[in-house]
Amino acid sequence: MTTSAVSAYRPHIDGLRALAIVPVLVFHLCPEWLPGGYLGVDVFFAISGYLITSILLREMAAGEFSIRQFWARRIRRIVPALLVVTATTLVVARVTLFPPTLRHLGQQALATLGSCANVYLWRATGDYWGQQAGEVPFLHMWSLAVEEQFYFVVPILLLVLWRRARRAVLPLLVLLSAGSYIVFVVGLSRAPVATFYLLPGRAWELGVGACLAATTLLHRPTTDRPALGGSLAWAGLIAIAFGYVLLPGMNAWAAVPVVGSALVIAGGGSGACGRLLSWPPFVWIGRISYSLYLWHWPVLVLSQRVVPGMSPVAVILVTVVLSILTYACIEQPARRRPGVLPTIGAGFALVAGFALWLLYGPLPRFDVTAFEKPHSSIRMYDVRPQPPPMRAIFRAVFAEADAPPTLATPESYANDGIVAGPGDRDPSLVVFGDSHGSMFAEALRTAAGRLGHRIAFFCMNGGASPFIELPIEPRPPTTTLTSEQRYRFDVARQRAIERWRPRVVVLCARWSIYGESGVAFLEELNRRGIVVVLVEQPPELAAVGDASVVQFLRWKDVAPSPGVEHTLPQGNVARVEAGRNRLREIAGRHPNCRILPTADLFARGDQVAVLDGRTVLYLDDDHLTTEGTLRALPRIEATLGELLE
């Protein structure tokens, strides 16, 4: 294959882009339809690695390469559409969303413009499949940041090699890609969130395309056997389909669709596969795929806030229309006009300035004196050894509530937790939980006290699992604990079970964020004759986010009225229901487990009761106030009384 052949337009690559973007859209709209559709991003990585490396090596071979010109082209290609989508998202959010939630958007937008969205999301949002991720309009920008970081590193690396060790280009690319793949495989078990988001664990996917480009341009393998090329392309398509259908979670098998993408690129330019991928509708979708990717997630997230229940078909239609307009009016003109860079720079400054204003500008505060001041035990029963400084948005939440500081010492998490109740006997009940355990703590303590029993709390805000992972051994750090602290926490909880021999263990959690886990722990409790009470997760609220419900109600012009219950729309319905199903599965498999229902106390069809007269029942979108949890007190007391007879 000649250099000119590589530089020529290859429509089947645009067709491959279509087969990458469509599964991503399907996965984000209806993940059950295509469990591995998220791997379309990995296909994009392989395509980008191939095309960018081809451009770099071709220009270096012709003596025409300029880092300045390369980055200028990348800016014209990427930034204009990105600015339009970012600015539109921020403006729509500013007009339609609850003002305190805009702080997050300002941070996300700045990280996106700074090509470090992946780093920000790793630190601030966490798991891509987690509960909070579905509320982040810029979540998908992590992949764009990975590519932009690749564009910064690879030209410098290749230029140095081209000048000093040209023959080492391909071997070094292979070596670096293999090393990155090892980081990816090992990291999925030890630091899965960082591995998912960051370049070191993702470079191998771009590297596969880069290795193909280097092989094609530097070693020029013969392509005189179109039948072989066609076979490779079909094998690649099958590999990609395998990933989309059979890989519902990220694992080492992600290499299959990535390598499949390289096979399609290498052999798909001719034959039946080439004709299929060069079909005009596929090529058209591929050409607007960048705009489709930019628009689809903000449209999906914001539509659920602005028009709850908007159908997937409507989301797709809005996304396609915006993408066509962006491609025709922004992408194409900007790519063809080298003199547009100053305009892009001015637009960048304006959008960044708007994001800074959302982040640091004044937020309106509403008079909430007509409501009874809510209470919260979330901070009181938190045994984290060193709670980090509270983010501004949470300070605003707790500013509207009576939320006393923790009862724990810095070493409580590694000792006996927080013990309460009459007398000095060993606790009959032990509570393990995340912030939902802290949330229900006052109601549980009240019930235990009325029944004359002592109770111990090992609750940790910030997503600590209510389960002890057995066998206990050193494990990777979490966002809450270091590896050593996590080990000590597990040891302390296990020691409490062995020493106190409680009759009941209560597990409280935001079940929608936990997958399959805890089987060995539950079996161990069953062997010890300990009954497990699984406290159901209450419904979550749409549109509120990590902000004050009482402020949200005033923003909505809700006025409290004696005897009148006010509701807000449910949010994250599918994930919350999946969490409830998880509890049913646990109770069905483990005879010592029983569920304490709470959802029906608040659910009103597709609405959620958040205000009863002047009493506020919710603190933020997923946490009840103490007054809210007391709705469950009669059930808690009756259940514990029966079990402790």
Helices (H) and strands (E) in the chain, counts: 26, 11
Angle, CA of 568, 569 and 575, to the nearest 5°: 130
- The SS3 of residue 522 is helix
The whole domain housing 443 covers 392-537+573-598+631-643
Q: Which of 360, 384, 417 is the last residue of a domain?
A: 360
* Cβ(264)–Cβ(44) below 8 Å: no
What is the pLDDT, as a whole number, of residue 310?
81
DSSP letter at 328 equals I
As given in the structure block, the two tokens for residue 367 are: 């008079």
Largest interatomic CA distance in the chain: 88
Assess whether 493 and 345 both reside in one domain.
no
Q: What is the DSSP string of 411-479?
A: TGGGTT-EEESSSSSPPSEEEEESHHHHHHHHHHHHHHHHTT--EEEEE-TTT--SS--SS-------S
What is the residue-averaged pLDDT of the chain?
90
3 band by pLDDT with thresholds 50, 70 and 90: very low
- Say which CATH number the domain at 479 has: 3.40.50
Beta strands 504-508 and 418-420 are unpaired
Better-predicted residue by pLDDT, 445 or 249 = 445
Unique residue bearing structure tokens 């998880």? 582
What is the pLDDT, as a whole number, of residue 5?
39
Any domain includes 176: yes
Assess whether 342 and 485 both reside in one domain.
no
* Cβ(212)–Cβ(260) below 8 Å: no
Instruction: Output the CA–CA distances (angstroms, integers) from residue 377 to 37, 283, 381, 402, in the order listed.
Output: 41, 57, 6, 9
* pLDDT one-digit tens code per residue, 486-527: 999 999 999 999 999 999 999 999 998 876 678 899 999 999
Residue 629 reports pLDDT greater than 90: yes
Assess whether 343 and 216 both reside in one domain.
yes
- Rounded to two decimals, what is the model's pTM? 0.79
> Rounded to whole angstroms, how far apart are CA atoms 615 and 602?
13
> How buried is residue 563: exposed, middle or buried, by Cβ count under 10 Å (0-12/13-18/19+)?
exposed
Assess whether 355 and 406 both reside in one domain.
no
Assess whether 418 and 354 both reside in one domain.
no
Residue 340 reports pLDDT greater than 90: yes
Residue 400 reports pLDDT greater than 80: yes
Unique residue bearing structure tokens 């296909």? 43
Mean pLDDT, residues 537-561 taken together:
91
* Cβ(536)–Cβ(578) below 8 Å: no
Mean pLDDT, residues 616-626 taken together:
96
Which residues does 18 contact at the CB level (< 8 Å), separation at least 6? 281, 282, 283, 284, 285, 286, 289
Any domain includes 373: no
Any domain includes 172: yes
Beta bridge partners of 566: 611
What is the pLDDT, as a whole number, of residue 212?
95
* pLDDT one-digit tens code per residue, 72-118: 999 999 999 999 999 999 999 998 888 888 888 999 999 999 999 99
My answer on whether omega of the bond before 471 falls inside 30° of 0, hence cis, is yes
What is the pLDDT, as a whole number, of residue 281?
94
595 band by pLDDT with thresholds 50, 70 and 90: very high
Assess whether 75 and 212 both reside in one domain.
yes
Q: Could you give the number of structural domains in the chain?
A: 2
Any domain includes 468: yes
Assess whether 353 and 453 both reside in one domain.
no
Which residues does 433 contact at the CB level (< 8 Å), separation at least 6? 440, 457, 458, 459, 460, 466, 506, 507, 508, 509, 535
Residue 410 reports pLDDT greater than 90: yes
CA 145 from centre of chain: 15
As given in the structure block, the two tokens for residue 512 are: 């929608």
Mean pLDDT, residues 382-396 taken together:
80
* Cβ(179)–Cβ(223) below 8 Å: no
Instruction: Output the CA–CA distances (angstroms, integers) from residue 615 to 202, 513, 564, 607, 628, in the order listed.
Output: 49, 28, 10, 17, 8
Unique residue bearing structure tokens 């939902």? 436
What is the pLDDT, as a whole number, of residue 221?
61
> Rounded to whole angstroms, how far apart are CA atoms 493 and 468?
8
* Cβ(553)–Cβ(371) below 8 Å: yes
Instruction: Output the CA–CA distances (angstroms, integers) from residue 527 to 41, 223, 531, 589, 640, in the order listed.
Output: 46, 66, 10, 14, 20
**CA dihedral of residues 57, 63, 69, 73 (deg, nearest 10):** -40
> Rounded to whole angstroms, how far apart are CA atoms 11 and 17?
10
6 band by pLDDT with thresholds 50, 70 and 90: very low
> Rounded to whole angstroms, how far apart are CA atoms 528 and 350?
63
Residue 219 reports pLDDT greater than 80: no
Any domain includes 383: no
Any domain includes 13: yes
Q: Which of 340, 360, 380 is the last residue of a domain?
A: 360
Q: Which of 313, 342, 360 is the last residue of a domain?
A: 360
Residue 263 reports pLDDT greater than 70: yes
Assess whether 7 and 142 both reside in one domain.
yes
Better-predicted residue by pLDDT, 219 or 555 = 555
Residue 390 reports pLDDT greater than 80: no
What is the pLDDT, as a whole number, of residue 363?
77
As given in the structure block, the two tokens for residue 443 are: 């109601």
Any domain includes 113: yes
* pLDDT one-digit tens code per residue, 435-457: 999 999 999 999 999 999 999 99
Mean pLDDT, residues 521-539 taken together:
95
What is the pLDDT, as a whole number, of residue 189?
86
Assess whether 299 and 427 both reside in one domain.
no
Assess whether 404 and 356 both reside in one domain.
no
Closest to 46 measured CA to CA, from 139, 114, 146: 146
Closest to 537 measured CA to CA, from 472, 611, 440, 613: 440
DSSP letter at 128 equals T
Assess whether 178 and 264 both reside in one domain.
yes
CA 104 from centre of chain: 14
What is the pLDDT, as a whole number, of residue 500?
96
Unique residue bearing structure tokens 């013969």? 222
Which residues does 371 contact at the CB level (< 8 Å), separation at least 6? 550, 553, 560, 611, 614, 615, 616
Q: What is the DSSP string of 582-599?
A: HHHHHHHH-TTEEEE--G
Unique residue bearing structure tokens 């209510």? 466
Closest to 381 measured CA to CA, from 446, 436, 421: 436
Better-predicted residue by pLDDT, 545 or 155 = 155
Residue 598 reports pLDDT greater than 60: yes
Assess whether 398 and 518 both reside in one domain.
yes
Any domain includes 67: yes
